[in-house]
Amino acid sequence: MNFSSPSASSHSLAPFGWDEGWDAEFAPYAAQGLVPGRVARVDRGLCDVVTADGVIRADTEFVVPRDPMKVVCTGDWAAVDPEGAGPRYVRSLLPRRTAFVRSTSSKRSEGQILAANVDHAVVAVSLAAELDLARIERFLALAWESGAQPVVVLTKADLVPDAPTRSHLVHDVETSAPGVPVITVSARDGDGIDVLAALTADGTTVLLGQSGAGKSTLANALLGEDVMDVRAVRDVDGKGRHTTTTRNLLALPGGGVLIDTPGLRGVGLWDAGTGVGQVFAEIEELAGDCRFHDCAHESEPGCAVLDAVEAGELPRRRLDSYRKLLRENQYIVAKTDARLRAEMRKDWKRKGAIGKAAMEAKRGRFQ
């Protein structure tokens, strides 16, 4: 089959996201006799790749870079050996359009790619547990930074039958997610599934969230069958069990592609400054009216952000969360940027000197 033909490629791999843009990117590999495929799952040096001839098992030996950000990931488009080549290998990866990345839990300065070439990042949040707005903001910062459109899905809505209470919870999330659609769903009753299905019918969607958020149940509802294993949440602490242990790519019956991910306990930022800015868009806008361009919104005179907090127009919790994520992101970036580390040390010394001078002046007044 000639994969350099747009009509051929759209007929065979369009359900998995193949389009004319990918076809053009793949042309040099087609000339080498390689075939395109999308990585559906990665496991110990091997991966499942969806091709025009079905799902194949391919070795990743030739695409194991030292840079962990370039390793094969679910959602990647790959150039693989043609059928009949004996053991089949992934020979190269096409450039990613988007990538959802978090920092690793190790002490090393490394990012971990959770999904590639994603159009929608669905953050699943269970209404069966107390809302953690700061965690939602953290997920959204990474989602915006990835280049995907974030969506917050409040699952298990049937457990909050009281309409005013549910409306209040939705409002709290909407306040913490400016510019982000917020959908309430109940996989048990089917409420809201049609809305989510319509949104995910175009492009690739990744499901994100903590264990117990109902991602696997949500995936099954979108797929129309029980494909993903589902287990009950623990009664002891309300936490979920890891039913999904790998990232899996699946074609949805109504169109679109779904990537389900394991539950994420830790969600560290990874060079997500732009994403943080989008999550806290109202603070960024207010900051434009501060007297000083480098205002830290702590105690500076003429700070429009602090004025908004005092006036009750901006929740103090939002400002605290904004500061925390900015500090964390700056620290992560500084671990891999020597120039920024030097600037941070210089800034710490400057602030330390100012604090010391203020203390000495205070002592002088009381002596």
Confidence class of residue 40 from pLDDT cuts 50, 70 and 90? very high
Residues in Cβ contact with 186 at an 8 Å cutoff, skipping those fewer than 6 apart: 155, 156, 157, 158, 192
pLDDT, mean over the chain: 83
- pLDDT value at residue 248: 87
Q: Please say if the pLDDT value at position 201 is more than 50.
A: yes
- pLDDT value at residue 245: 46
Q: Please say if the pLDDT value at position 288 is more than 70.
A: yes
pLDDT in tens, 217-270: 899 999 987 765 554 444 434 444 444 445 789 999 989 999 988 766 666 777
- Picking from 215, 210, 247, the residue whose alpha carbon sits closest to that of residue 71 is 247
Confidence class of residue 365 from pLDDT cuts 50, 70 and 90? low
Which of 58-72, 104-118, 157-171, 197-211 bottoms out in mean pLDDT, i.e. has the lowest?
104-118
- pLDDT value at residue 193: 94
Q: Could you give the CA distance from residue 31 to residue 4 in angstroms, rounded to a whole number?
A: 8
- pLDDT value at residue 367: 52
Which of 2-11, 71-80, 215-224 bottoms out in mean pLDDT, i.e. has the lowest?
2-11
- Picking from 201, 101, 185, 112, the residue whose alpha carbon sits closest to that of residue 144 is 101
Percent of the chain having pLDDT more than 90?
56
Q: Could you give the CA distance from residue 144 to residue 97 in angstroms, rounded to a whole number?
A: 13
Which of 7-16, 42-51, 218-227, 328-337 bottoms out in mean pLDDT, i.e. has the lowest?
7-16
Q: What is the mean pLDDT of residues 293-305?
A: 91
- Its sign, for the CA torsion 56, 62, 64, 65, is negative
- pLDDT value at residue 68: 79
